[in-house]
Structure 1
């Protein structure tokens, strides 16, 4: 069982004050105390996919200072373990300049108890960046399935952790999706390592076993069914708050960038399974921000401004630009249209496609001046835009794959093409209508396509584009520079949703 909380209407959204909305009370088991011995109690704080130390949405949500304020308050009430489920070092504009050093400094300051790797920990092309961040960490890193290229553990990274809190021996194992391939990293099988580590932790006397995971929810659910020895899965990778249950385990994921965190109250009897009560807490303007942590945020912002140099306007937008992941990973968005149009027009292609995960701003940008720094935040990865010539059948296969990727960073935003999907149809048969160049898609006709080098290389599963024979000589240029050129050429933009992507029966 899983619930995507906002979609299910169980959590009213990201913009609420602390503790607003529903309180989720979930007990794995209700075990009577042995004699008169009361259960031992501790609090777990869980968060995931944290990219911007200063907060988001005009700094009204998230940020390291609000996390520190929450932890400070909870620690006055009893023992607390703060656990992080991956995606920290990248991507953000600040991390592009400082290699994620600001994130480590922030989590050191709030007293994180354990972290695991997310796929974006390996965005750095050189291992030296990751090794430097591991050395700087004053908190333990745990990973049961990630190793260096030679199979040895990364320095200071343990396959498991046992920590006593509130008189309870808490065991933590940790698992990461093998999504990023770098010469310096290798992966062990997720399921096998999870089973081995769960058994090892129980033999070591762990009374509460937690799997800290950076996996898709479907894999978390499968793990829970397969691992009766795990009490709680604290997950990441998805960026919206979710709750699931399978087997004996409760599964929790918070909203990205500290918009929300899960607070879990654990009562552990002498015998029997722990009782877990979980509530989703919004880190908004009502959460106190300790002055030292506010100053840390401000200091890093000042360093970033000095590094980037003076900002400058590049265009006027007459429309609010929707860069939210909740839009771009699920449906057509006007910022996705603007970026795809820039690639198509500046790259001189018939069609352009950009994955929603390449647009990183994750905010609704208000109408007004668009600046150079904002463009850098929109396209953080600085991919190259390549020019391909692909048959219509291959373009159609990519659109079909985009339907399967809905809800993830692989969902496509389009220019020069339209698609209509039936999401109720079986996988592989969801694309019902497709156009390119203003006419129905012709399977045998070649089309010029501008897309990111990541996608052209088979990233996010777009292996249909990865044939060398499709590559045209000369790429279109740097993605950020193409968008800047497009905006400067137009001077004024008002992108809108145009029905480029439709869902039939909705």
Structure 2
């Protein structure tokens, strides 16, 4: 009988939305990513291997706006995933739809710190509170951890769901999994699949270092390795264009890792944390070198990370390519119709829309306000930057429904609400409260101008609030405000919007896709009458 391996390899990815490839390196795409992943999975010389996913797959995307998440089912089921955790966007279309999707997956979903208060079970039926994988004589415990911050953004969360502090819940479950007195547990290693922002992941990795061996996270859409990673290799970097879009971010990440490694105190293991990019463009190959000489305790001697990028040089997996072709053919007829023309580039990058004024945000706000200016007296429009998706610049030229749906995949409509100037002030202050963090709440507006100083406290009387005629916003006067129903419901901290009286409710509101469709069709009619 062969002796057990002294290594454990983990293949990790997170936050995948679009099955098709992009037009810039690394191009991503499910077919190339699947080919890359399968080639690594077939390489048995690397030792025992786990494939893990850290959430966000079914929504939001162009495809999901039509398929309601079903387009991703065959793709995920083809990737030989051993375990996954739930991301915030898994809940976008409600718990019933999510549970139906989970039921059709051929791999388990793990969620540890969100439970149903009535039953104590994990938040979604069919998911697990923890998982134990036995591989090559190792018992590996897997937990799934989320943060409270994104729960506040969910439009359809059942009221019976209960959130548990991520550090406390993770430490309790990991300790239980490593208990040697419980024969059903007795795990040698515990891996945490997380879907949180970096600051929370760092806190988790630091405060649970005694019981959690590795944190694999998503949610942030960038690549990251913590100071507890001993070796980092990025062989594809030199194959990319010299000025490809992520170069500066990669350089900064690598510099931070090297600096933190250099400052580690003696005998410190550092932050054993990895985030693996986004959208089928990145895959982490993580090698754990183990000391198994003590039968009662497995020790990790070294962690090496190799970053694989899904470039155009990767040959596509033909079976997954067929899936992608069928998905895209189904969408194309409805979405490829050209509905308008833009004479300027439209900026939908997250780094812009979530931190500053964007021309795509301004245009959308103008359309929201003007759509309801006559029928509902809309004077102001609020749109949170997180509503603007796709994370790219659309060049001047033709605009299709596909372009619009890619930027606005959410289905909640525009509503109009009557608010006081003070409620508008509080909404604006909430919108900039997390700046410069790239939070979705950052406001894109129309019909109002404002400046903010992040050094000042909320409600500072020296802050300026004025409308387009530079008149001061009267705190006691009522204004009609067009906004997303999602924001009116109080999500992303916009509780102030929910205090107002609805003038146009969600039943009668228009979606962004129809808003843009009407706008461009209206322009076409006007141009035809010239």
Report if the CA contact (8 A) 1:379-1:479 is conserved. Answer: yes
The aligned length equals 452
Q: Where in structure 2 are the equivalents of 1:88-127 lying within 5 Å?
A: 88-125=57-94, 127=96
Deviations 1:360-390 (CA, angstroms, capped at 9, x unpaired): 2333222211112322222221222121232
What secondary structure sits across from 1:257 in the alignment?
coil
**460, 463, 482: which is aligned to 2:492?**
460
In 2, the alpha carbon distance for the partners of 1:262 and 1:477 equals 42
Deviations 1:121-176 (CA, angstroms, capped at 9, x unpaired): 1222361x223212211112111123456423444422112224455432211123
Q: Where in structure 2 are the equivalents of 1:248-287 lying within 5 Å?
A: 248-270=270-292, 271-287=298-314
Alignment of 1:201 onto 2:177: yes
**301, 312, 318: which is aligned to 2:337?**
312
Equivalent residue number for residue 22 of structure 1: none
**457, 461, 482: which is aligned to 2:515?**
482
In 2, the alpha carbon distance for the partners of 1:252 and 1:460 equals 26
In 2, the alpha carbon distance for the partners of 1:200 and 1:80 equals 24
Report if the CA contact (8 A) 1:208-1:268 is conserved. Answer: no
What secondary structure sits across from 2:187 in the alignment?
coil
Report if the CA contact (8 A) 1:322-1:334 is conserved. Answer: yes
Report if the CA contact (8 A) 2:145-2:193 is conserved. Answer: yes
What secondary structure sits across from 2:19 in the alignment?
coil
What secondary structure sits across from 2:50 in the alignment?
strand
**107, 128, 132: which is aligned to 2:100?**
132
Deviations 1:338-379 (CA, angstroms, capped at 9, x unpaired): 211111111212221111221223332222111123222222
Alignment of 1:226 onto 2:226: no
Q: Where in structure 2 are the equivalents of 1:43-122 lying within 5 Å?
A: 43-57=9-23, 61-75=27-41, 76=43, 77-78=45-46, 79-122=48-91
Once the two structures are TM-superposed, the CA of residue 447 in structure 1 deviates from its matched residue by 2.8
- Structure number, greater radius of gyration: 2
In 1, the alpha carbon distance for the partners of 2:307 and 2:429 equals 35
Report if the CA contact (8 A) 1:163-1:170 is conserved. Answer: yes
What secondary structure sits across from 1:421 in the alignment?
coil
Alignment of 1:397 onto 2:426: yes
In 2, the alpha carbon distance for the partners of 1:138 and 1:80 equals 18
| Uncovered stretches (5+) of structure 2, i.e. residues with no partner | 180-184, 229-268, 293-297, 526-530
What secondary structure sits across from 1:73 in the alignment?
helix
**465, 472, 483: which is aligned to 1:451?**
483
**Which shifted more, 178-187 or 400-409?**
178-187
Structure 1 pair 435–282 and aligned structure 2 pair: CA distance change class (3 A): farther
Equivalent residue number for residue 145 of structure 1: 113
Alignment of 1:242 onto 2:240: no
What secondary structure sits across from 1:158 in the alignment?
coil
In 2, the alpha carbon distance for the partners of 1:293 and 1:53 equals 9
Once the two structures are TM-superposed, the CA of residue 433 in structure 1 deviates from its matched residue by 4.1
What is the TM-score of this pair, normalised by structure 2?
0.78
In 1, the alpha carbon distance for the partners of 2:464 and 2:271 equals 42
Deviations 1:185-243 (CA, angstroms, capped at 9, x unpaired): 72341333212210122123333321111122232222223312112111122223334
Equivalent residue number for residue 403 of structure 2: 374
What secondary structure sits across from 1:480 in the alignment?
helix
Structure 1 pair 245–410 and aligned structure 2 pair: CA distance change class (3 A): farther
Structure 1 pair 378–491 and aligned structure 2 pair: CA distance change class (3 A): farther
Structure 1 pair 53–333 and aligned structure 2 pair: CA distance change class (3 A): same
**354, 361, 370: which is aligned to 2:383?**
354
In 1, the alpha carbon distance for the partners of 2:355 and 2:93 equals 28
Once the two structures are TM-superposed, the CA of residue 106 in structure 1 deviates from its matched residue by 0.7
Q: Where in structure 2 are the equivalents of 1:319-334 lying within 5 Å?
A: 319-334=344-359
Once the two structures are TM-superposed, the CA of residue 114 in structure 1 deviates from its matched residue by 0.9
Equivalent residue number for residue 327 of structure 2: 300
What secondary structure sits across from 1:218 in the alignment?
helix
Structure 1 pair 462–263 and aligned structure 2 pair: CA distance change class (3 A): same
Deviations 1:50-70 (CA, angstroms, capped at 9, x unpaired): 112224457962222222122
What is the TM-score of this pair, normalised by structure 1?
0.81
Alignment of 1:384 onto 2:413: yes
In 2, the alpha carbon distance for the partners of 1:242 and 1:410 equals 24
Report if the CA contact (8 A) 2:112-2:170 is conserved. Answer: yes
Deviations 1:265-301 (CA, angstroms, capped at 9, x unpaired): 2112125334212244332223332222222211211
What secondary structure sits across from 1:381 in the alignment?
coil
| Uncovered stretches (5+) of structure 1, i.e. residues with no partner | 1-36, 493-506
In 2, the alpha carbon distance for the partners of 1:339 and 1:254 equals 32
**Which shifted more, 415-424 or 264-273?**
415-424
**123, 137, 146: which is aligned to 1:176?**
146
